[in-house]
A and B are shown apart, each in its own frame.
Chain A
Amino acid sequence: MRVLIIAEQDGQSVKVATLHTITAGLAISTDLDVVICGHNIDSLASNIAQTKGVKKVIQIDGLALSHQIAEAYEKAILTIASEYTHILAPATTFGKNLLPRIAAKLDVMQISDVIKVASPTVFERPIYAGNVLMTVESQDKQQVMTVRPTAFDKADMGGSANIEKRAFTDKITTSSFIKLEESKSERPELASARIVVSGGRGVGSKENFHIIDELADSLGAAVGASRAAVDAGYVPNDYQVGQTGKVVAPELYIAVGISGAIQHLAGMKESKTIIAINKDPDAPIFQIADYGFVGDLFEVVPQLTQSFKK
């Protein structure tokens, strides 16, 4: 068995989801390599080479890999894919975009969002917005899967893998990058934060959302949102927590003005402790919250912020 992990990077650093995916890979086999694609990524490759348990880092460098164009990444990774029995990528928008292309080219089914490795061919994954868990046994010659980062610990540092450099000279003419509008934030990244404060429709407006931001800042937390808050334009799309947004599992999740629809719970119910603040005592969020406070968020949240402000 040989495992290949596809690293995710954003030009600045290797995304932490990659380290969680390596842990899932090591549960399959210790014969594990990482492939990192991009352009001028020497420092990123040497960073990931320091992860414990990685045997070899394959650095594929090419101009066509400067941005995350799936067609280019597919071609680059297919040059080495046949050498591996397992190919894993994080279940982030990067991995979800890319990996099914590779699976289709290898004529195997992809297993999405794996949360447990039971054996090298048996895996568990959530379906129906996390309301059901399904265990599947792959009958394919190769196993291709995306891994839910929050379900596996981060791999440790302290390794020193060899780096093998390869050049990618293909050009992709049917797809071109125009621009990236990054949501810039000084806060911790939502998917990996220890504490998340999320706002929902109850926050009422974009202007009011600052009370969520202020509480988050007083706690050093990341900010999330329900779909309702995103749709209403209170915050950008990539704040969305849920079945179709990000899945988070922080130590503490504070849901403010969020009723707790099935689709939202899918993205946060693995959090260690959940606190809900809502004025509706019958809101479904209270059924899963460890601590629920029934009250007006406009009174409660500023009080909480005051308590933690230094």
Chain B
Amino acid sequence: MKVLVAVKRVVDYNVKVRVKSDGSDVDIVNVKMSMNPFDEIAVEEAVRLKEKGTINEIVAVSLGSKAAQDTLRQALALGADRAIHIESEESPESLTVAKALKHVVSEEKPDLVILGKQAIDDDCNQVGQMLAALLDWPQGTFISALDLVGDKVKVAREIDGGLEEIELTLPAIITTDLRLNTPRYATLPNIMKAKQKPLSQISLDSIGIDSKRHLKVVKVSEPPLRQGGKKVSDISEIVEQIRRVI
């Protein structure tokens, strides 16, 4: 069986981003970039399935500028077998990503596609679901457990009221939640080996995907600042504040 894993290069989760003074965009020049944390979990899950012998090939794919190749090399160092870079503008919209991934799926014919549930920059939480719709495949979103048996995959989904278990017939799309696994670190020998692994390149235009934007950014701004708090040393002040509300 083959797994396709989609990864995105995003601003590192520890960085507090700033808005450009003209309000046109977020300033990410010279900011530390990393693989989206949910995608690390997706790669880790694919690698674990391979270690169990359930699957035999992991293909990592990313859309974005040339720099997206760093993220793909990281996926390769973590255990992906080969990578596909779809060259596009820096941060294409979810629908464009889903269409590009649909193209890769039709070429690669994976049994399972694993994606993160959301990217921590745009916080959209859309691509996996859109890809599933475009392919008419079943989806298991926000999963915290997965069991692959025969041509079915059983998943536990983290939903608002608790945990839901559903079973999907392969091929299927799944998106990872934080509690699916704890990703490993790439070791130096594996980082070296990753440089030799195949990384192919295509462009959005060459696969005939229209990347026109559906949403025009009018402006970006900082949210209103909260008034800095005051520290109290007497617990009765806290009690008094709580009493005001109840």
Q: Which residues of A contact B (CB under 8 A)?
A: 10, 68-71, 74, 92-94, 96-105, 107-113, 122, 126-140, 173-183, 191, 194-195, 219-220, 227, 230-231, 236-238, 243-244, 246, 251-252, 254, 262-263, 269, 273-277, 281, 286-295, 300, 303-304, 307-308
Contact = CB atoms under 8 A, between A and B. Distances in A.
Interface in B174-228: 177-179, 213-223, 226-228
A133 B223 contact: yes
B98 A237 contact: no
A180 B159 CA distance: 10
B162 to A, nearest CB: 4
B217 to A, nearest CB: 6
B123 A237 contact: no
Interface of B: 11, 13-14, 16-17, 19, 26, 93-95, 98, 117-118, 120-134, 137-139, 141-142, 144, 154, 157-169, 172, 177-179, 213-223, 226-233, 235, 237-239, 241-242, 244-246
A46 to B, nearest CB: 23
Contacts of B244: 273
A289 B218 contact: no
Nearest to B99: A104
B139 A127 contact: no
Given A131-B17, A290-B230, A291-B241, A94 B235 contact: no
A134 B172 CA distance: 33
A194 B164 contact: no
B13 to A, nearest CB: 7
A149 to B, nearest CB: 11
A131 to B, nearest CB: 6
Given A174-B138, A231-B178, A290-B227, A132 B26 contact: yes
A287 B154 contact: no
6 contacts: A101-B129, A135-B220, A136-B216, A175-B169, A288-B228, A290-B241
Given A101-B130, A178-B166, A291-B232, A128 B120 contact: yes
Nearest to A181: B163
A244 B129 contact: no
Q: Which secondary structure dominates where chain B touches chain A? A: mixed
Given A180-B164, A181-B163, A131 B214 contact: no
B129 A97 contact: yes
A214 B121 CA distance: 37
B167 A238 contact: no
Given A238-B162, A275-B242, A128 B26 contact: yes
A94 B94 CA distance: 19
Given A178-B165, A292-B232, A111 B215 contact: yes
B242 A304 contact: yes
> What 7 A-B pairs are tightest by C-beta distance, nearest first?
A100-B129, A109-B214, A104-B130, A175-B138, A101-B133, A104-B133, A100-B126
A231 B179 contact: yes
Contacts of A134: 217, 219-220
A197 B66 CA distance: 46
Given A93-B142, A112-B126, A180-B163, 6 more contacts: A101-B129, A101-B130, A174-B169, A176-B167, A277-B238, A304-B239
A164 B133 CA distance: 27
Contacts, number: 257
B95 A132 contact: no
B117 to A, nearest CB: 8
B178 A227 contact: yes
Given A109-B215, A291-B237, A293-B238, A237 B158 contact: yes
Given A70-B129, A113-B123, A174-B137, A252 B242 contact: yes
B134 A104 contact: yes
Given A96-B125, A175-B168, A131 B245 contact: no
Nearest to B132: A101
Nearest to A251: B245
B95 A109 contact: yes
B179 A263 contact: no
Contacts of B125: 96, 100, 112
Contacts of B241: 252, 273, 275, 290-291
A35 B127 CA distance: 24
A225 to B, nearest CB: 13
Nearest to A91: B125
B164 A128 contact: no
B157 to A, nearest CB: 8
Nearest to B212: A139
Contact of B118 (A97, A111, A244): A244
Given A128-B26, A293-B231, A122 B121 contact: no
